[in-house]
Amino acid sequence: MNLTRSHAIARDQQDPLAKFRERFFFPRRPDGQPMIYLCGNSLGLQPKGVREALNVELDDWARLGVDGHFDGTHPWFAYHEMFRRPLAHIMGAKEHEVAALGSLTNNLHLLMVSFYRPTSKRYKILIEASAFPSDQYAVESQVRFHGFDPADAVVEVQPREGEHTLRTKDIEKYLEEHGQEVALVMFSGVNYLSGQAFDMGRITAAGHRAGARVGFDLAHAAGNLELRLHEWGADFAAWCSYKYMNSGPGGVSGIFVHERHADSPELPRFAGWWGNDPATRFKMEPGFKPAHGADGWQLSNAPILSLAAHKVSLDLFEEATMPALRAKTVAITEYLLALLDALPNHEFEVITPRDPEARGAQISLRTLNNGRALFERLQAAGVVCDFREPDVIRVAPAPLYCSFEDVWQFTQILAS
Ligand SMILES: *Cc1c(COP(=O)(O)O)cnc(C)c1O
């Protein structure tokens, strides 16, 4: 591969997504230069249209007060309905299988209320080793809530000795041998630390063969991988919108519930009025009747300001399309890996899988000595990436707004 700067610039000129870069705000260094932003896996940049979209809702609220629910520019009463089509597209789902609501960890709990139904013989939750702390706390507290001991009931699949990522075969093998004890398989789509993308189709099939329910935390996969949740057949999934989906800090989350559960009033759930069948929601009668599909897990009326920001970003995704974003992700991460491999003095080891099918936009570098100091040098030179204890630097060239030249510059700074 040609590793010169002029080649990077030429790649940017041929990039069909290059035009999206100018539709985002970039943090700037004191000298006014934009930073090299490789942190879209943690907090996506602000699309320039967000302020105007928020102003529409703020103006409606100022102008109309409560009547904004029905007379607003985008009436708030039905606001959440605008998210079905774009989310279905990103998640590879049917429109009635997705909904934008709440926050990620809250939603994982709500979905586990429905889909983690332990019995005395089948009560374990299978997760990946090094799951994100919030997910670990969530599953531990769920098993405790049902009277089990996390030390016994939460099982982590570990990488093999000397390896950093999991083999799908090992997940399948565990489920073949011990699956009769597993009530729920809950994996991430992309592991936050290693950047490994899991084979969600195979994991779902293995979980279901074992008689377990299967759910995914897509925090690092949503807007990153090409997902096919419906086809893979997962029972549920949840994600946040503020990482690759650029919808702002603490932005609204989303859920997927497979259509086989679309009309299952017998599924236990913690209910709220917004999840009730809209035909009877305002009759204010007792007796919860869940709405069809994922909408039936809504609790509260929709967070309009957060959704307004989310909509701006989803419009960009619809324009860019997931296949084009994914193609750029594969190309730009391959380019980054080639540049990293060519660096003379490696102070790190790449722990993200080399197989493009097994990664998204994030490349994780395990530093060999004093990683924090290396990270601080990167920061001082205008690179935004992050450091995860004890020794991992994560860099993610998000395809909507990162350029090949960004990646080239990053590796030059790393080399110096
Ligand atoms: C980012 C992330 C979260 C964050 O959870 P919130 O409830 O949005 O604070 C949870 N799980 C994973 C895997 C994440 O990557």
* Interatomic CA distance for residues 367 and 347, integer angstroms: 6
Task: Tell me the best of 101, 127, 132 to mutate to test the pocket of ligand 1, counting ligand atoms within 8 Å of each CB and taking the most.
Answer: 132
Low-confidence ranges of the chain (pLDDT < 70): none
Domain boundaries, the chain: 5-34+321-415, 56-318
Specify the pLDDT at position 265. Answer: 84
Closest-CA residue, ligand 1 atom 10, reads 134
Cα of 390 vs centre of ligand 1, distance in Å, is 19
The number of the ligand 1 atom at minimal distance from the alpha carbon of 104 is 7
pLDDT digits (tens, 9 = 90+) for 356-405: 999 999 999 999 988 999 999 999 999 999 999 899 999 999 999 999 99
Fold of 56-318: Aspartate Aminotransferase; domain 2 (3.40.640)
Measuring CA to CA, which residue among 223, 204, 226, 224 is closest to residue 215? 204
Query: Exposure string (b/e) for 369-394, b if CB count within 10 Å is 16 or more?
Result: eebeebbeebeebbbbbbbeeebbbb
Give the three-state DSSP class for 51: helix
Tell me, what amino acid is at 180? Q
- Name the CATH architecture for the domain at 5-34+321-415: Alpha-Beta Complex (3.90)
Pocket test for ligand 1, best of 240, 241, 362 (most atoms within 8 A of CB): 240
Half-sphere exposure of 341 (CA within 13 A, CB side): 11
As a whole number of angstroms, the distance between CA 122 and CA 212 comes to 9
CA–CA dist 236, 258 (Å, integer): 6
Does the beta carbon of 136 lie inside 6 Å of ligand 1? no
Residue 278, pLDDT score: 87
User: How far is the centre of ligand 1, averaged over its atoms, from the C-alpha of 403 (Å)?
Assistant: 26
Tokens found for residue 143: 């098993």
Give the model's pLDDT for residue 244. Answer: 98
How far does the centroid of ligand 1 lie from the alpha carbon of residue 145, in Å?
21
Q: How far is CA 101 from CA 80, 213, 254, 338, in A?
A: 8, 22, 5, 40
Same fold, 5-34+321-415 and 56-318: no
CA distance 307 to 101: 9
- Please report the pLDDT score of residue 162 as a whole number: 93
Q: How far is the CA of 269 from the centre of ligand 1 (A)?
A: 22
Residue closest via CA to ligand 1's atom 15 equals: 219
- Does 409 contact ligand 1 (Cβ within 6 A)? no
Distance 388 CA to ligand 1 centre (A): 15
pLDDT at residue 416, as a whole number: 85
**Residue reference for tokens 């705000």:** 25
Q: Report yes or no: 143 and 123 within 8 Å, Cβ to Cβ.
A: yes
> Which atom of ligand 1 is the closest one to the Cα of 108?
7
pLDDT in the model for residue 238: 98
Pocket test for ligand 1, best of 43, 108, 134 (most atoms within 8 A of CB): 134
Of all atoms in ligand 1, which is nearest to the CA of residue 135?
11
Q: What are 289's two structure tokens?
A: 């009747």
Residue 346's pLDDT is what? 79
Q: Name the residue with the closest Cα to ligand 1, atom 2.
A: 219
